[in-house]
Amino acid sequence: MTIKPFNPEPLTQDNAALVLVDHQVGLITGIRDYSVAELKHNVIGLARAAKALGLPIVATTTSADTLWGPALPELVGALPGQDFIDRTTVNAWDDPRVAAAIEATGRKKLIFAGVSLEVCAAFPAMRAVREGYEAYVAADASGTFTPTKRETGILRLLQSGVVVADGASLMVEILGDNARPVAGEVYGALDMDWATLVGQVRSAAFEQASA
């Protein structure tokens, strides 16, 4: 497969928004490409980092009372006051309230994450491209149910002109400068094990040098 090169201008705090689709307790129990704990870690980290960076956030659920259950309690806790738009449409964008909320962000670069990747995240991301937006999918905050679904979902995204990345890389791109006052909060939200270890090694070296 040949993928047309696409290298858009960088994401920034002023041009990007986050769309979280259907991270619900019923859906997440079927995830097989990540452990539930790892997927929750990635989703919550993405949400907290986006909040720290001041990004507009749109969040949805599907048939929360009758089908897939409520949004993850950890996600609700990470986004106090966030309105989770509950809908019945398969494609989140097909609900007029969701479409209006996305438009109201005023941003043209949209980062999507959803359970499952090939439907919840992919369908609105592909619609975003058709509507003239630039779309990104945080693949590690978007679980799914079989290896085939993940592989074909990512292929379809790439064929549709959607940028596929990991959530932490997208947030760090938006951060832009490690000297910014918000950097510590962003990295803390992402809670990357290797970054924590680097910080511990550096602190130990500093303490040893000061002794």
Of 120, 121, 164, 190, which is the active-site residue?
A: 120
Question: In the chain, what are the domains?
Answer: 16-209 (3.40.50.850)
- How much is the average pLDDT of 196-210? 56
**Residue-level pLDDT at 205:** 54
pTM: 0.90
User: What tokens were used for 156?
Assistant: 């379809």
Strand order across the beta sheet in which 109-114 lies: 84-87, 57-62, 16-21, 109-114, 134-138, 163-165
Summarize pLDDT for 166-177 with one digit per residue, the tens.
999 999 999 999
Q: Write the pLDDT tens digit of every residue in 96-138.
A: 999 999 999 999 999 999 999 999 999 999 999 999 999 999 9
Residues 52, 46 contacting (CB under 8 angstroms): no
- Is 120 labeled as catalytic in the residue annotation? yes
Mean pLDDT of the chain: 92
